[in-house]
Structure 1
Amino acid sequence: MIINKKKASLLAGTVIFGSLIASPAMAQEEPTIQPAAAEDDMIIVTGSRIQRRNTETAAPVAVVDSAEFELSGTVNIENVVNALPQVVPGITSFSNNPGNGTASLNLRGLGSTRTMLLVNGRRWMFYDTNQTVDLNTIPQFLLESVDVVTGGASAVYGSDALAGVVNFRLRDLDGAEFGGQYSITDRGDGDRYQIHGAIGTDFADGRGNVTVFGEYYNRQDIFQGDREFSAFALGGSPLQQLGSSLPPQTRLTYLGDGDTTGTAFDTNGLGIFGTPGSLRAYSTPGDLYNFAPVNYLQLPQERYLLGGYGSYEVTDALEFYGEVTYVNNRVDSVLAATPILVNTQLDYNELLSNGFIDQATRNQFASLDATETGADMNDGFVPVQVRRRLLEAGGRANLDERNAFRVLAGARGDITDYLQYDTYYMYSRTRNSNIQQGNASTSRFTAAINGTGDTQVNIFGENTLTPDMVDVFRIQAQNGDISDLQVASAVVSGTFGDFALGAAEPIGFAVGGEYREVNSRFIPDEFLASGDVQGFNAGQPTQGGYNVNEVFAEINIPFETESGMRFELSGAGRYSDYSLSNVGGVWTYAGGVEFAPIPDITFRGQYQRAVRAPNVGELFQGSAIGFPGANDPCASNAARGGGSLNAICNANGVSDAIYASDTAFANIQPDPQIAAFFGGNPNLAEETSDSWTVGVVLQPTAVPGLTITADYFDITVDDAIITISLQTALDLCYNTVQDLNAPQCAGFVGTRGPDGGFSRTNAPRLGGANVASLETSGIDLEVSYGINLPFSVIGNDFADLNLSFLGTWTELNSLAPDQTDPTDVITCAGEFGLECGEPTASFKWTSRASYVDGPLTFSTRWRHLSAVDDDDPTSDYFVERIGAYDLIDLTMAYDFNDLVTLTVGVRNLFDTLPSTPEFDANGVVTNDTNSLLLGDFNNGEQSNTYPSTYDVLGRDFFASVLFRF
């Protein structure tokens, strides 16, 4: 933030209302050099703590002006920042499964935990054990700008800034603003409305200012069934209508060794109660359950946000300032009814006497029982695996309600004419209440179907469970999260008096220290902690924290010749002492250079060494079960009939007898998601990164109003902490190492069930480790141009045309799961899929053209993503490529006077959506898949696409009004 007494507006010369989605952090004119004691125009630019009179830095800084939020009709910050080409979308309002009701920012695709988020140059509150900031807690309507700094910045800001820093600047008010916005899709759903207000005032002859604000925001839900492209769960090759193998009619897998001849199991070992009480053979895909329609496409949200900030200058040597924010955020997610899977034995005579099965079904069970061997023969029981969708228990509803507050108090002022100090203390706390409806107790359900409980329930057909039966096993589960952050910081900055080199500004510096303490807890209830739950994922408690003491320093040395040639050197260093024994004391540092041979052109470059300490979740997370999408190598033709893959699968419990079955692959992996346990690792050390940026800034005097910047970036993260994806772990063990005794296979030993597959009780175990390497590189290009037009549509003498372009070419985005093996690298630039997740387009840009004619602004925005390919070269999926993607938005704003502004617009003007799949009589998709914008169901994506990357709302209208007093 700007810390001079007069609160000079940062970047005022570089940003024109309505013109830029991002403007370079550069002054449009050469700054005037003034005496060292004249501090009125001193500012602090994101990426440095040194006050300066110009916005030039060695590190590239892209600035998103507040006008972009107004012109795009955006209330939630995620919708603007995710459009930036430097960003790969993280969790968003379209993240239902997985999702947690938050919105995160993932800079350069290196992960949200490696992106540092600041507000007014200081750390913001986080919400969970991964120490991730929820963008929903930042007041969008008070933003002055959003600054995006590329590359590691740990030397300036500390841990977490490996990919870069995003700083949200809030503005002071002198007056009052009240406004609201309403949005609705072309289909008449997904309503969103916001009401906000802020009052600010200067007092004591301008020596003080106080701003207070409040907001209410409400977003209505949209279900996947409300859009034709997401109404069916698609999968397979050819791509077709599929779904889940846990149907509401109940599917049985026979687990005994009896003769299946003449029974429903004789076809494929599977049976289903298509008619209540009557067992028949199970068929695919006809008996799969389509879970898609009842899942959210857009999550509902309700948010209350209150806060204020202010400052008061007692004397030149003492100015007090403070900030306070409170947020209540409620977000629901809804999934299809609980799919439950248990292995048990059924007493078929008791089931017949209770009327749950008919005589023919009882006879089938008796036939199996009579041909079993040993003690199981004629014991009155049949061993089965039960798979059922508990529709009668209702959908799985997950309510996250987060209450967060942050308070900050500080003091700053002048020490001498050349020195200033700034010190503050900040405390933030977030508490999340997570209430889950629709879960089932595994033990209660098992006892209720096999007759060992007090009440037996009827699962043998669709809609056979009465409300009283459901109450036997249905449970409500609750989790809690508590996270807090404390920061105490002090810095002294200034110059070495009037000492300057040549005609340049004085040498600037900053030195300081910081104490930071992090604590976080995850508190599950008894069902979640014990694992006796199906529906939402079980997880054990997590609790931990750490603190760090830091000292840091920066220096900036400018040179300038009489001819106007400018040369500037900068450097920064930080020493951090962590209470974590495996981290201890670490150094981070940075060095940069700028060279301007003439005022029209500036060359710049920077190197940064950054670190990230492991977060609480990575260190101390209790074991939790998840269901990631993956392909089991043992469920493939390559695993049959000898060979090294067959040998390791045999050793791991997939026998050749299992492979001899015609339904072997369906039994080994019946669903695209596989159960796995994930947990923390207290022995983790820090990650390190090396970042290089080299660029040029062009501001030709022959073309006033034109600025062009181009910067090459290269970021490498070593010792990266990853819990490698289940797919990567499977590939490393079964396809690469192929030795069950190797460390890479430790998580798979003893984890397969009798059918050769993984389940909730026989699941792989995965944990984090400092084993990976991440790398990304590419070029950012920014162009902005503003020109006065000698005509006006509404009768003024002239108008303005402002053009901007911000684009990124991603040359490389890669993950080496084992950084010691250079042959095993997952490349993600221009790809999507199981390993890479969200599409990382090689070319991504956003551009805007604005025509400003007095009180009228007409603006259009163009967003583009290049085509992406599936990231798995070993498999031929039906959707191997998602085509290039373009969206056009239109906005018109009118200032009726200085008091009222009306803005209306439409996003996604041409209603660009994933195309509606067309099906033949067998449910097979017949469209040209390159036009679908679909992610193959085998890749485990939701809504048949990537809803955080590709628009799923369609044409979307908005209108807003702002009153100023």
Structure 2
Amino acid sequence: MTRFNKASLLAGTIMAGAMIATPAYAQDADTTETAAQEDNFIVVTGSRIQQRNVDTAAPVAVVEAEEFKLSGTVNVEQVLNTLPQVIPGTTAFSNNPGNGAATLNLRGLGSTRTLVLVNGRRWVSFDTNQVVDLNTIPQFLIESVDVVTGGASAVYGSDALAGVVNFRLKKVEGLEMGGQYSITERGDGARYQMYGAIGTSFDDGRGNATVYAEYFNRESIFQGDRAFSNFALGAESFGAPLQQFGSSTLPTARFNVPTSRTVAGTALPLAQGLVIDDAIFDQPGVGRPRAGDTYNYAPVNYLQIPQERYLLGGYADYEFSDGHRAYTEVTYVNNRVQQELAPTPVTGTYNVDIATVSPFLSPAIINELNILDQREEAVNAALVAAGSAPALPGLGVVSASIQRRVEETGSRNSLDERNAFRVLAGVTGSITDNLNYDAYYSYARTRNANVQSGNISRSAFQAGLDGTGTPINIFGYNTLTPGMVDAISIQAQNGDISTVEVASGTVSGFLGDFGWGGGDIGFAVGAEYRRVAAEFIPDTALSSGDVIGFNAGDATEGAYNVKEIFAELNVPIFETDGGQRLELTGAARYSDYSLDNVGSVWTYAGGAEFTVTDGVMLRGQYQRAVRAPNVAELFGGQAIGFPGAVDPCGNAAFIGANAGSAAICQAHGVPAGNVGNAAVVQLNAQIPALFGGNPNLGEETGTSWTAGIVLQPTFVPGLTITADYFNIEVEDFITVAGGSLQGLMNLCYSGGNATSVLCQPFIGIRNADGAITVDAPPLVSGINAAKQEVSGVDLQINYNTSLPFSLLTDTGSSRFDLNFNGTWTDKNDFTPVVGRPDVDVCAGQFGGNCGQPIASYKWASRFTWIDGPLTTTVRWRHLSGVDDADDSVDYAAFNGIERISAYDLIDLTFAFEASENVTVAFGVNNLFDTLPGSPTFNGIVVDNRPNSLLLGDNQEQANTYPSVYDVLGRDFFASVAFSF
């Protein structure tokens, strides 16, 4: 039974590296670690060798179970994202972009490069990227979480370039049940959790079984529910400030037509001062110049996405013969997560039949359309005379660029329902007194059903304008009737299936000390087979591109397998009576992939630990790791995306700073007069692009090394200090050339050859004005061309001591605990294309190609006072300030900022043992209600907090980075736990 008592000073801590079990802290008698110590064997994350000591060459950060309880956290990513080794992945606040999952991203190297284990074995992936959704892990059963950063492929195989996160689940003896309720100070975003677990030993202790269940529900919060996110501070850099700032909706129906056509080198002007040339229809049928107005899409977007989860499972083991034990694990998760976006924006070029739309337009607009029709017929005639085919509709039909926010359909909603299960069976036991074996097979499968509402059919929308379908009136606010809405609306569905199979066998043990006096030599050898498969199954409407609203995409299907052999060695060299000790470790793995471009690869590692004297240990490790490309990277079907980007051809500052860029833009179809004119070349802050897999990808390779010191001074009892330098370099990094669409465009247009490999996606796709539109988006895919390097220092401090007073007991003493876990990030450099001088220096930066803020200094610390049955604890989370990484735009000129200042959050929790069987806890996170905010925007009060995090254009979503900076505000929780 785990309780908040004096012996639980380990509780609520983020432990120092490699000190998984330490004499300074008492452990409950039923924990796995203690049981292992009783047998004089411990298995430490990062090795398969059973060891007789807990020190390791690689630093291991350990998050104990009580950290989740004391922070009021149900979903595990919320605790792990506070670790300085972690850059947040997708979370409960990832609505757009987001996928309804919660992922883990060690060192900012990407979720695909972080290997997630449960009880030392691979867990369930959820999509074609083969990433683990942390929502599938039962938080209430977690005994500890071990975080090993740096490559670990030699021990665990592919995907461990950034490191390994291992969730250890506890065995239950008796009945444990409880629940938790959380709600913000503003009365929204409620979260409910109920759980129960029953465990027992049987047959005189030969067997043990645990079964468990959990229900979790999280309610939504909309961006409109917070002042800082109610108004989308976006697109200011492409035009005038937001229209009707202060209104949650905007009457919008934009209707754009080009002002000229070019035929055989001759410009044919259309009607001068054409009213319909970029018109907003505030009144039905009556247009006016757009004047830079943009739509406020923010209020109806989720700030916190809703979630409902059912989790069932169990695990058991039985000693069927002396020294031989069979074990099994079963897990099932049903997880429902929604995303919600503003109503569908219809964009693109459409043929408009003048007779069909005339009933909806004013006489002035109809006249302009007739003039346009005449001009287009003249263009066609000129083309025919030049020996070409007509390019424009003509004969009463005009070609127009439409941008219409279809608010009549309501918001777009995407519901993901993931059903995941995993089964595992294995056997372990002793061959001799010093030799053990372990073999198991596991199968995991996730099936996701994605249902989308609020989409528009592109073909039906076109038919409503060209006279071949139900006529639609798009010229004004709320002008579409229910019948028109039904005619153009379409529901869409996607499916995902992901499977992981593992068959693994290991023999480990000790070979004796060979008379060296250092202790027994430990070893492990084994073999493993893995098969991963995944598919993405869109419906016909999505795969055909007929859906507007959510991104369309082609089907994806692929699989591969790998056969591996591996070995580890742990060699104690010597140990003296004076306390000096030297131990060397080594590991190697040979992997044979079924992928032709990967084939056979080696990974290896070597490390050393040297105890200089009692309380002082030096350690270091070097590793070479490998990651094979995943199914999405290899076999991903083409899917359209709309990343935020600035078209260099519309960026006057970029053109001026890069000689030759204007010529490349013109060679790609941008009229000379439009080069550098964002109002014409780029009408929206997002640029459409097609993304797809590349079957010719090879493996990524990573090298990492760490060097550190562990101090436990005898003259300060209870103090442990560890400091470790780390350096991780990933080569042949798989990414879009340039790291993103923006990076690829910058590389292409910064000078050089207009027909180079980097420029191929942008040749022949621009419209007559030079803009990139959804009608012909560029096609980009990943290549093995980039490199990323991260380095820095991890510092952990743990201190506990007895205090000579007590307020609640007559013992006359209480206990104090200080835990600090911090990281200084010296380097986080991304080279988009090796061999070119372009390097994104991201340490201390945010935005641009760096994405999420990467603070130079990040720490999480906890101060705990335990007085009898009462535990009082304060947590302090800190991020240092970060600067804008994008030098191409001065965001401060567009209601944004160029620097996010340092950021601190304080949390307070009380836990009380009401009885031997009942523990209650309550607390408040973000005690001082620190939120993103700005005092005014164009003279209108937004919030009364200082302007520190409201980013304007330079944001991810909700005017900030909501997975990094708290968006809930002051947040209360209460929990109760029963144990019998």
TM-score, reference length from structure 1? 0.94
Is the counterpart of residue 557 in structure 1 residue 557 in structure 2?
A: no
Who is 1:865 aligned against? Answer: 879
2:275 maps to a residue whose letter is A
Q: CA 1:483–1:468 in 2, change beyond 3 Å: closer, same or farther?
A: same
Aligned to 2:690: 677
Q: CA deviation at 1:324?
A: 0.3
Change (3 A) 1:750 1:505: same
Contact 2:251 2:282 in 1 (8 A): no
Name the residue aligned to 2:384.
none
What is aligned with 2:13?
20
- Is the counterpart of residue 764 in structure 1 residue 769 in structure 2? no
Amino acid at match of 1:403: N
**Letter matched to residue 284 of structure 1:** G
2:945 and 2:662 mapped to 1: Cα distance? 36
Residue in structure 1 matched with residue 700 of structure 2 by the alignment: 687
Map of 2:391 onto structure 1 = none
Contact 2:640–2:689, Cα closer than 8 Å, also in 1:
yes
Give the one of 634, 639, 648 matched to 2:649: 634
Query: Which position in structure 2 is the counterpart of 1:707?
Result: 720
Name the amino acid aligned to 1:389.
Answer: R
CA contact (8 A) 1:13 1:28 kept: no
Change (3 A) 1:458 1:402: same
Displacement of 1:128 in angstroms is 0.5
Q: Deviations over 1:140-195 (max 9, x none)?
A: 00000000002000000000100111000000011111100000000000000100
- What is the match of residue 815 of structure 1? 830
Closer, same or farther: CA 577–639 of 1 in aligned 2, 3 Å: closer
SS in 1 for 2:568: strand
What letter matches 1:685 in structure 2?
G
Q: 2:634 is paired with a residue of what secondary structure?
A: helix
Report the CA distance between 1:379 and its aligned residue. 3.4
Partner SS for 1:362 = helix
Cα displacement string for residues 627-650 of structure 1 (whole angstroms, at most 9, x for unaligned residues)? 111111100225779951110000
Say which is worse superposed, 313-322 or 55-64, in terms of deviation: 313-322
What is the letter of the counterpart of residue 378 of structure 2? G
- Map Cα deviations across residues 776-821 of structure 1 (whole Å, 9 max, x no partner): 0000000000001111011332111011000000000011011223
Deviation at 1:282, TM superposition (A): 1.8
User: 1:911/1:30 Cα in 2 relative to 1: closer, same or farther (>3 Å)?
Assistant: closer
Which secondary structure does the structure 2 equivalent of 1:294 belong to? coil
Name the SS for the 2:938 alignment partner: coil
Is the 1:457–1:469 contact (alpha carbons within 8 Å) kept by the matching residues of 2?
yes
Q: 1:239 to 1:298 in 2, by over 3 A?
A: farther
1:281 corresponds in structure 2 to 289
Q: Which residue matches 1:441? A: 457
Q: Does the aligned pair in 1 maintain the 2:377–2:395 contact within 8 Å? A: no
The 5 A counterparts of 1:244-259 are 248-255=251-258, 257=260, 259=270
Q: Which residue of 2 aligns with 1:881?
A: 899
Structure 2 residue 280 is matched with structure 1 residue 272: yes
- 1:412 and 1:886, CA in 2 relative to 1: closer, same or farther beyond 3 A? same
1:38-77 superposed Cα distances (whole Å, 9 cap, x missing partner): 9712110000001012210000001001010010000000
Q: 1:587 to 1:713 in 2, by over 3 A?
A: same
Equivalent pairs, count: 934
Q: What secondary structure is seen at the aligned counterpart in 2 of 1:782?
A: strand
Q: Which deviates further from its counterpart, 536-545 or 196-205? A: 196-205
Residue 274 of structure 1: how far off its partner (Å): 1.4
| C-alpha spacing 1:369/1:529, structure 2 compared with 1 (3 Å) | closer
The answer to whether the 8 A contact 1:152-1:161 is kept is yes
How far off its partner does 1:262 sit? 5.3
Q: Give 1:72's aligned amino acid.
A: S
SS in structure 2 of the partner of residue 481 of structure 1: strand
Alignment of 1:502-651 (within 5 A): 502=517, 504-558=518-572, 559-638=574-653, 644-651=660-667
Secondary structure of the 2:460 match is helix
**Aligned pair in 2 of structure 1 residues 752, 263: CA closer, same or farther (>3 Å)?**
closer
Is 2:815 aligned against 1:800? yes
The match for 1:326 is 332
Matched, 1:261 2:272: yes
Partner of 2:378: 374
Say whether the 8 Å CA contact 2:6–2:868 is kept in structure 1: no
Task: Establish whether residue 70 from structure 1 lines up as the match of residue 88 from structure 2.
Answer: no
Question: Which residue number in structure 2 is paired with residue 34 of structure 1?
Answer: none
SS for the counterpart of 2:524 is strand
Cα pair distance change 1:793/1:38, threshold 3 Å: closer
Name the structure 2 match of 1:342: 348
Name the residue aligned to 2:925.
907
Superposed CA offset, 1:397-424 (max 9, x none): 0000000000000000000011000000
How do 1:933-948 and structure 2 match up within 5 A? Answer: 933-937=949-953, 939-948=954-963
Does the aligned pair in 1 maintain the 2:665–2:675 contact within 8 Å?
no
Matched-pair identity in %:
58
Deviations for 1:55-101, whole angstroms, at most 9, x for unmatched residues? 10000001001010010000000100000000000000100001111
Rounded to whole Å, the distance in 2 between the matches of 1:590 and 1:435 is 46
Aligned to 1:449, what secondary structure does the other structure show? helix
- Please tell me whether the aligned partners of residues 19 and 802 of structure 1 are also in contact (alpha carbons under 8 angstroms): no
Tell me the SS of whatever aligns to 2:84: coil
Matches of 1:411 and 1:138, distance apart in 2: 23
| Matching residue's letter, 2:734 | I
- Does structure 2 retain, via aligned residues, the 8 Å contact 1:796–1:853? no
> Superposition pairs for residues 65-464 of structure 1, below 5 Å?
65-235=64-234, 236=236, 240-241=241-242, 248-255=251-258, 257=260, 259-261=270-272, 263-265=274-276, 269-285=277-293, 288-352=294-358, 355-372=359-376, 374=378, 379-451=395-467, 453-464=468-479
Query: What secondary structure sits across from 1:261 in the alignment?
Result: coil
Q: Are residue 896 (structure 1) and residue 895 (structure 2) matched? A: no
Q: Is the 8 A contact 2:934 2:943 kept in 1?
A: no
**SS of 1:443's equivalent?**
helix
What runs of 5+ residues in structure 1 fail to find an aligned partner?
1-7, 32-36
Give the deviation of 1:24 after TM superposition: 3.2
| Partner in structure 1 of residue 763 of structure 2 | 749
The CA distance in 2 between the partners of 1:13 and 1:117, in whole Å, is 32
**8 Å Cα contact 2:875-2:908 kept in structure 1:** yes
Using the alignment, how far apart are the partners of 2:755 and 2:943 within structure 1?
Answer: 46
CA distance in 2, matches of 1:850, 1:218: 30
Deviation track 1:18-43 (CA, whole Å, cap 9, x = no partner) reads 35123332254599xxxxx9971211
CA distance in 1, matches of 2:153, 2:814: 44
Residue deviations 1:361-415, cap 9 Å, x none? 2123234344556266983333211110011111110000000000000000000
CA-to-partner distance for each residue in 1:206-231, whole Å, 9 max, x for gaps? 22210110000000000000000000
The CA distance in 1 between the partners of 2:223 and 2:209, in whole Å, is 45
The RMSD of aligned alpha carbons is 2.4
Match of 1:717 in 2: 730
Aligned to 2:389: none
Q: Give 1:498 deviation, angstroms.
A: 6.1
2:497 is equivalent to residue 489 of structure 1:
no
Query: Partner of 2:936: helix, strand, or coil?
Result: coil
Deviates more, 1:722-731 or 1:271-280: 271-280
8 Å CA contact 2:862, 2:873 repeated in 1:
yes
Distance 1:47 1:790 in 2: 40
Preserved CA contact (<8 Å) 2:201 2:209: yes
User: 5+ unaligned residues in a row in structure 2: which ranges?
Assistant: 26-35, 261-268, 382-393
Q: Distance in 2 between matches of 1:351 and 1:512?
A: 72
CA distance in 2, matches of 1:385, 1:854: 72
Structure 1 position 15, deviation (Å): 7.2
Contact kept? 2:828, 2:843, Cα under 8 Å: yes
> In structure 2, do the counterparts of structure 1 residues 803 and 278 end up closer, same or farther at CA, with 3 Å as the change threshold?
same
Which residue identity does 2:15 align to in structure 1? Answer: A
Partners in 1 of 2:37 and 2:819 — Cα distance? Answer: 34
Q: How far did residue 753 of structure 1 move?
A: 1.4
CA contact (8 A) 2:607 2:621 kept: yes
Structure-2 change in CA distance of 1:926 and 1:157 (3 Å): closer
